[in-house]
């Protein structure tokens, strides 16, 4: 299992430079940034900056979407970052949640996510590509054949199907082993159904991790179930909470859900957090002492997780990276 | 007078890192990149990269346009680069020439250039801004009040008027002192007419510079008149070559102009270069021995130029930067 | 009060690069390295390396001695580091303890410490200097007039006198406020006696700091009283434990002292630690919760300390630097 | 054949950082610094600095000597630089010419050069070593087994014998193919005589290289024959100019030699340059057009040279590095 960290964008540039250096030295292989350009800073300048301070670490948005940028601009951006870093750029892709809603726009349909995946990968590779917004086909004369990995963020059956059919991996914003397995299995099954070799398909579990006293852990991370519950609500509305496709543990939580303030997206002072129980927080995140982290991560690995991606920005970032580097990651390096 | 360099995007990342370091040490204050994301790599990752290798140098596109990116994405990108570099980001802006045409699109109208200037500057500053494509007004909660300088590329009377009315400066892609003065005066007059204080208005002359033997200089830079003649053709079509607004020296050249292959935009092997005379090349660029450079640059300074911006990528870049740093820039540092 | 960190040399280069970046961002102004070239790596390559990763932080040995290097070599080294870092090099100087004893040599007499201080400062400045080992006077044609600060490590009355008479400051390896004041007052009095202006004289208290649970703090730092007791033993032998010059709290401790294994100098597994009581450890170091740190540091500041210099290498370095940067240093920045 | 550059120490730190980056990108594998700590800055801080700006380039003094530093200090310095750069440190070693003479001291005897080579290599490796100045044997507990390459600068028969018997290579400060072969053959023969495998023995020819107009080349580099003639004079005094061991071309030059001002060591304004003919300059250096460089370097390679090491600091450094990277080194990369 590999390890990643995710910045939401609040971190200062000076601190980000240091944290990625520390994380690389500690054994983390990936660094992700939220891509939601109104709520936070545009993430690609930060990615390019961090690339200059690392040697092996891979970077990518977690997640971008097909609607924020013209596809040839997105592809040129991605290919340039890959070329500049000698292949250290990957993509996390979703339908566009906060990035769209904060502007009063709708997330993209899944068919558009799938088409974006395929056409952007082709443009990055150097193929001539025709896509909707461009009167003429686009081909980058400077492309160097890079095969851009695109991992698709998903929870719902149709999104998981898309991830399995066109993605190089799936990003699951949750660290609950049973749910990770249930989600990942759907994606992998869809890929096999479509005739793909799924042996290298990536399963990325993304959630906050916090080491130490449980009360402090809970306080620091309870914003997370509130934020990702929003995605789950979309599933339930479409497929029905008691259809058998959605586990009871999740639907119980959803029923308590009241609302969500997008201007506080991803922040720990989000006011609509009352309905989150401690059980839900523990279930969604990786919390507690070092041994509890190792135990849960072994479960996640057994459930098929290929990368555990820590959502940082809950405080004590240097300490958590050091704890993972010194005491946790060594148990998983093979 | 300040000095800048412009990369077209062909330069390798490893070499770009070294050249900006050398240029900063040599006394250059600005580094510009073509923004034409299909023909060359996306320039903003390269800008973010180069910022990590410099301390005082300012960076920007030369030139971007209002149509390649959603305006909130462009504003978030610009504000993030400014924040990340502690204020070392500026913008060069045009209507969108090669970036649009290569995709079969049209350049933006000047009214759109003006609106982009004002709304992007406002978003970068942190104001709440309503613009066409966004259903809801956009406001960056993380903005830090940065006043983004926007310099507008122009030749034609209307574009120069726009530069003077809304820009912080004008970019003139030519190093012919009389033309620089004629263009700059139009922009400054328009600004004064609109009631603006033009005392800090920037006049940026952008053109190739090459030191040494004249034959080699001419061979290395004759692609430039061909490329910029394209813009001049737009003026002539709209205002008439013999209207009195356009100098004869320029219209004579235009009449010989046959065509232009956009897939070779900015390259020295552009096949449609036959109609360019040596006189035109010398007139448009800064060529020859060190003394000839100093003499022409003093004329450009007298004509109101506040920055001479060298288009690199003609070979011998390290030598030209060293020549400017050791022998030319010291004559202009005050 | 300013803050510093000290590496003993065990830290890997990759980690040192990151820790100095983190420390600079956290508000630490100085970074020191043990200079004991057999027991640990030579510190000056590490200092030059760390300078490339910082902008304002100052670096120096803590402490060097007059016997390890030819004086012109030492002066050239120091002047080169100062020039290379644009003035970010300072010196901590002692008689040569572990660096000499591990080779079977004796520490230098104080008169030699004083002469080294004055002649090295002169060579660094660019003066022509005659000194013992060199047949001809030495003058660096490339010197740029840098005034090298030399801070002298001392405990005993004569060493404190030397620090006050020729040093720019005194380094006291202890964080006990009453002792710091007693030591510093002796140095300052000696300087005044010699007619010097002592208003900018630096008083640097150097000791381990560890935040968190007291049991863990004590375990991690009890090597320190053992190490510095060695110096105190020299004082007692020379001046007498009950002469009135040495406080009772210190002499009580010394009487229990049995021996010291130089091959474990500065390590936490030093076997001769049994005689160190918890009280002595708390008294010599800064330990416990954040509030306890702030309270003791305010006392140290009141006692005249101008810099608190943390001896790192006790584990949890990233966390301790972050705790100081986030919660402690802001109370002292004026 | 590999390529190196040598700085004398006059170059500013900011420029050195850029030049080593440019040189690494251009294909140079080694960067050397004069080690003469009074005449120029101490070179090891500059080496440590440059290591932070390069990835593969190797660094070393050209040349150090056994008398400037205590051997355990020298060994700790070398081992630390090797460890810090992951094995990118090598040593050039001589008897101590300008570094000793400027202080009124004598160069070391060859037996001391040989002993220094063996004992420093052993200390760097981690062996316990007893040497003259240290009462007790020295062993670095932190050594990592690095096998330090030591290349010995030589001209005279005895020095070449020492280089062959104990060195990993020989440094010949001259780019005259016949002389290089004559010198190198002596070293290799001595190594074989001593029973060593000489198949990886390095032959490093070190001299100025200057591209372009021959008059300018001669003017910029004529300081070099004057400087190295000093070493040759030592040979002649000891072995006799007409003994048959020294070629006539060299002795003719020596007879014209008048004197040498050490305060101008290595500078182009050395006043005692009158006796240097253009033929001698051309013979000792690599000068002229690109083709002339390639032709002479092919001869040097044929003569057994494994590295051509350019003495920089004659002006136009960026251009010369670019010329070598673009037009010359590609002919020798195999």
The pLDDT tens digits for A125-172 are 999 999 998 999 999 999 999 999 999 999 889 999 999 999 999 999
Inter-chain residue contact B18 with D14, CB threshold 8 Å: no
Q: What is the pLDDT of residues C62-86, one digit of tens each?
A: 999 999 999 999 999 999 999 999 9
Question: Per-residue confidence at D277, pLDDT binned at 50, 70, 90?
Answer: confident
| Closest Cβ–Cβ partner in B84, B104, B105 for A45 | B84
**What pLDDT is recorded for position A233?**
58
B44 in reach of chain A (CB within 8 A): yes
Q: How far is C65 from chain D (nearest CA, A)?
A: 13
Closest chain C C-alpha to A326 CA, distance in angstroms: 10
At A98, the pLDDT band (50, 70, 90 cuts) reads confident
User: Average pLDDT of B47-62?
Assistant: 98
The verdict on A212 touching C (C-beta cutoff 8 Å) is no
Which chains, if any, share at least 3 CB pairs under 8 A with chain D?
A: B, C
Residues in chain C closer than 8 A to D68 (CB atoms): 70, 73
**What is the mean pLDDT for each group of 10 consecutive residues in chain C (334 residues)?**
89 94 97 96 97 98 96 98 98 93 94 98 98 94 97 93 98 91 94 98 97 95 81 62 60 60 58 69 94 97 97 93 96 80
pLDDT at A284 over 80: yes
Q: Are B68 and B98 in contact (CB under 8 A)?
A: no
Write down the pLDDT at residue C67: 96
Span C172-185, pLDDT tens digits: 999 989 889 989 99
Is B87 in CB contact (< 8 Å) with chain A? no
- Whether this model's ipTM surpasses 0.85 comes out as yes
pLDDT of residue B179: 86
Residues C83, D41: C-beta atoms closer than 8 Å: yes
pLDDT digits (tens, 9 = 90+) for B232-272: 656 656 665 565 656 665 666 666 655 545 566 656 555 55
Using an 8 Å CB-CB cutoff, list chain B residues near D25: 14-15, 18
Q: In this complex, do C322 and A319 lie within 8 Å of one another by their Cβ atoms?
A: yes
Contacts of A321 in chain C (CB under 8 A): 318
pLDDT above 80 (res A31): yes
CA distance A221 to chain C (A): 19
- Reported as a pLDDT band with limits 50, 70 and 90, residue D226 is confident
Q: Which residue of D has its CA nearest to B320?
A: D319
pTM of the model: 0.92
The pLDDT of residue D248 is 62
> B249: distance to nearest CA of chain A, Å?
35
Q: How far is CA A181 from the centre of its chain?
A: 16
Task: Count B/D contacts: CB-CB distance under 8 Å.
Answer: 33
What is the predicted pLDDT for the residue at C35? 96
Contacts of A13 (CB under 8 A, 6+ apart): A46, A49, B83, B84
Q: Write out chain A in H/E/C secondary structure.
A: CEEEEEECCCCCHHHHHHHHHHHHHHCCCEEEECCCCCCCCCHHHHHHHHHCCCCCCEEEECCECCCCCCHHHHHHHHHHHHHHCCCCECEEECCCCHHHHCCCCCCCCHHHHHHHHHHHHHHHHCCCECCCCCCCCECCCCCCCCCCCEEEECCCHHHHHHHHHHCCEEEECCCCHHHHHHHHHHHHHHHHHCCCCCCCCEEEEEEEEEECCHHHHHHHHCHHHHHHHHHHHHHHHHHCCCCCCCCHHHHHHHHHCCCCCHHHCCCCCCCCCCCCCHHHHHHHCEEECHHHHHHHHHHHHHCCCCEEEEECCCCCHHHHHHHHHHHHHHHCCC
Which candidate from A15, A25, A317 shows the least CB-CB separation from C14?
A: A25
**Do D40 and C139 lie within an 8 Å CB cutoff?**
no
* Among candidates B13, B37, B73 on the partner chain, residue whose Cβ is nearest the Cβ of A76: B37
Q: Would you mind telling me the total number of residues written for chain A in this entry?
A: 334
Q: Which residues of chain D lie closer than 8 angstroms to C83, CB-CB?
A: 13, 41
Best D11, D18, D54 residue to mutate vs chain B (most B CBs within 10 Å): D18
**Percentage of chain A exceeding pLDDT 70:** 85
B216 touches chain D (CB under 8 A): no
pLDDT of the residue at D255: 67
Check B21 against D18: CB less than 8 A apart: yes
CB atoms within 10 A of CB C133: 9
Tokens of B166: 């809304």
Cβ atoms of residues C48 and C84 within 8 Å: yes
Nearest CA in chain D to C81: D45
The confidence score (pLDDT) of residue A265 equals: 60
What's the token pair of residue A156? 């719902």
Q: Quick check: B132 contacting A, CB < 8 Å?
A: no
Q: Is the dihedral of CA B326, B329, B331, B334 positive or negative?
A: negative
**Which residues of chain C make contact with D104, given a CB cutoff of 8 A?**
134-136
pLDDT category at D278 given cuts 50, 70, 90 is confident
Q: Is D279 on the interface with B (CB under 8 A)?
A: no
Tell me what pLDDT residue A235 has: 65
Closest CB to D318 among B14, B15, B318: B318
pLDDT in tens, B155-184: 889 999 999 999 999 999 999 898 899 899
* pLDDT level of residue A334 (50, 70, 90 thresholds): low
- Reported as a single tens digit per residue, the pLDDT across D129-171 is 999 989 999 999 999 999 999 999 998 899 999 999 999 999 9
Question: Touching check for B264 and chain A: CB below 8 Å?
Answer: no
Q: What is the 3-state secondary structure (H, E, C) of C259-324?
A: CCCHHHCCCCCCCCCCCCCHHHHHHHCEEECHHHHHHHHHHHHHCCCCEEEEECCCCCHHHHHHHH
Of residues D265 and C147, more confidence is placed in: C147
Q: Do C22 and A22 touch (CB under 8 A)?
A: yes
Give the one of D18, D25, D319 whose C-beta lies nearest to B319's C-beta: D319
Rounded to the nearest angstrom, the minimum Cα separation between A21 and chain C is 6
């Amino acid at each position: 299992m590999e390890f990643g960290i995710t910045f939401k964008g609040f971190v200062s540039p000076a601190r980000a430079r240091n944290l990625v250096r520390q994380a690389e030295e500690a054994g983390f292989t990936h660094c992700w940034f939220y891509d939601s350009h109104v709520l936070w800073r545009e993430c690609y300048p930060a990615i390019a900056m961090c690339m200059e301070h690392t040697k092996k670490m891979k970077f990518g948005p977690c997640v971008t979407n097909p609607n924020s940028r013209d596809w040839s601009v997105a592809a040129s951006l991605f290919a340039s970052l890959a070329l500049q870093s000698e292949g250290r750029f990957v993509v996390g892709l979703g339908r566009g949640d906060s990035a769209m809603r904060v502007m009063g726009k709708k997330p993209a349909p899944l068919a558009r996510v799938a088409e974006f995946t395929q056409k952007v990968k082709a443009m990055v590779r150097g193929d001539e590509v025709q896509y909707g917004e461009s009167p003429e086909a686009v081909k980058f004369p400077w492309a160097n054949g890079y095969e851009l990995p695109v991992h698709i963020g998903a929870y719902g059956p149709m999104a998981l199907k898309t991830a399995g059919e066109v993605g190089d991996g799936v990003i699951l914003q949750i660290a609950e082993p049973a749910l990770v397995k249930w989600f990942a299995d759907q994606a992998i099954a869809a890929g096999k159904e479509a005739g793909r070799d799924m042996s290298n398909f990536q399963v990325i579990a993304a959630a906050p991790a916090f080491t130490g006293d449980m009360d402090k852990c809970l306080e620091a991370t309870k914003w997370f179930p509130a934020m990702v519950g929003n995605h789950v609500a979309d599933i339930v509305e479409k497929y029905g909470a008691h259809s058998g496709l959605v586990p009871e543990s999740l639907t119980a939580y959803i029923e308590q859900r009241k609302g969500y303030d997008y201007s506080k997206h991803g922040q720990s002072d989000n006011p609509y957090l009352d309905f989150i129980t401690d059980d839900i927080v523990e279930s969604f995140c990786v919390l507690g002492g070092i041994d509890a982290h190792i135990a849960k991560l072994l479960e996640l690995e057994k459930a098929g997780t290929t990368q555990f991606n820590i959502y940082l920005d809950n405080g004590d970032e240097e300490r958590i990276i050091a704890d993972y580097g010194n005491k946790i990651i060594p148990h998983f390096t093979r």
